[in-house]
């Protein structure tokens, strides 16, 4: 995309912002934690196709199961030993025995099955997972991922993230764009790596980056944010897709 195309895209986005009443303030000033979580989870849920077996990481990624379109048949696998994870349990009568990897109470779909950790990790390491959605502390412009520890702080363990990232056919990172003012999409990860050059897609509340062999490509942007907002909150270099689209929020 040349300078003229970038300016045209910026002008289009600015016009959209001007006509969108929800965009009267900078997006990061008016988005609640709940709304951020919803935007990211909804967008991630669009990445699946019929018949996919998908593993969701703990934290925000677990919310993705609640937003899969009704006409898409997805089988969610949980690394604690459940194939056929449904939506979050609702109502007064909840079964505390049925949980996802993050400890959240979940339903099961028809035909679901339970098994031990050995079987769960065999599925993950053996290339039987079509896609995984994980959180991250950092992702860099080469698609490397740091997600399991910050030196000097308590480390509960890496869980199954290393197995998932190298075993899944597609790796999607679903995370907030920044954390307490700190940039998370960087030129080079400086935290201990979970995996090297394995990430395929980065989804935040502000935008969507595709990881290509030439680096990051901005393919979608939340209309509540400008290109300048994305650049100022992203350390990694990136290119802008010619058909840059708005995220649905």
Question: What DSSP character marks residue 99?
Answer: B
- Inform me whether the pLDDT recorded for 214 exceeds 70: yes
Does some domain include residue 79? no
Does some domain include residue 110? no
- pLDDT tens string 49-107: 999 999 998 889 988 988 988 889 999 999 889 999 988 898 888 999 999 888 889 99
Does some domain include residue 66? yes
Does some domain include residue 165? yes
- Of 160, 133, 147, the C-alpha closest to 79 is 160
- Distance between CA atoms of residues 134 and 163, nearest Å: 12
Does some domain include residue 167? yes
Q: How many domains does the chain have?
A: 1
> How big is the chain, counted in residues?
249
- What pLDDT does residue 173 have? 98
- What pLDDT does residue 29 have? 62
- Inform me whether the pLDDT recorded for 118 exceeds 50: yes
- Distance between CA atoms of residues 56 and 44, nearest Å: 11
Does some domain include residue 76? no
Does some domain include residue 113? no
CA angle 148–179–145, rounded 5-degree value: 35
Structure tokens at 206: 């502000």
- Of 81, 75, 131, 118, the C-alpha closest to 101 is 81
pLDDT band at 194 (very low <50, low <70, confident <90, very high): very high
- Distance between CA atoms of residues 222 and 230, nearest Å: 10
Residue 209's domain spans which residues?
Answer: 3-70+125-246
pLDDT band at 114 (very low <50, low <70, confident <90, very high): very high
Handedness of CA 79, 185, 143, 219 (dihedral sign): positive
As a whole number, mean pLDDT of residues 139-148 equals 95
Pairing mode of beta strands 106-114, 131-134: unpaired
Q: How many CA atoms lie within 13 A of 166 on its CB side?
A: 11
- Distance between CA atoms of residues 210 and 49, nearest Å: 18
Does some domain include residue 41? yes
Pairing mode of beta strands 82-88, 106-114: antiparallel
The runs of H, that is alpha helices, within the chain are: 3-19, 27-30, 33-45, 117-125, 161-167, 227-232
pLDDT band at 151 (very low <50, low <70, confident <90, very high): confident
Residue 171 sits in a domain whose CATH number is 3.40.1080.10
Q: Return the number of other C-beta atoms located less than 10 Å from residue 217's C-beta.
A: 17
Q: Distances in Å between the alpha carbon of 150 and those of 18, 112, 242? A: 40, 36, 37
Instruction: Give catalytic residues, as residue numbers.
Output: 79
Q: What is the dihedral of CA 217, 223, 224, 225, to 10 degrees?
A: 30
Reported pTM: 0.84
């Amino acid at each position: 995309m040349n300078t003229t195309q970038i300016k045209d895209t910026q002008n289009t986005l600015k016009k959209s912002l001007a006509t969108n009443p929800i965009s009267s303030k900078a997006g990061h000033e008016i988005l609640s934690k709940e709304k951020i979580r919803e935007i990211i989870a909804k967008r991630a849920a669009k990445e699946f196709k019929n018949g996919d077996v998908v593993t969701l990481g703990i934290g925000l990624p677990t919310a993705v199961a609640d937003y899969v379109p009704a006409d898409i048949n997805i089988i969610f696998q949980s690394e604690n030993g459940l194939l056929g994870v449904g939506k979050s349990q609702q109502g007064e009568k909840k079964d505390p025995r049925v949980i996802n990897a993050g400890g959240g109470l979940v339903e099961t779909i028809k035909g679901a099955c339970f098994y031990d950790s050995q079987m769960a990790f065999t599925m993950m390491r053996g290339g039987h997972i079509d896609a995984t959605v994980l959180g991250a502390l950092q992702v860099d412009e080469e698609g490397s991922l740091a997600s399991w520890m910050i030196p000097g702080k308590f480390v509960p363990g890496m869980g199954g993230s290393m197995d998932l990232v190298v075993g899944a056919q597609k790796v999607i990172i679903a995370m907030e764009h920044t954390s307490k003012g700190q940039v998370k999409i960087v030129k080079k990860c400086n935290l201990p790596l979970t995996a090297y050059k394995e990430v395929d897609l980065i989804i935040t509340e502000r935008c969507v980056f595709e990881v290509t062999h030439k680096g990051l490509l901005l393919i979608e942007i939340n209309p509540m944010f400008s290109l300048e907002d994305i650049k100022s909150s992203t350390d990694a270099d990136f290119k802008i897709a010619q058909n840059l689209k708005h995220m649905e929020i």
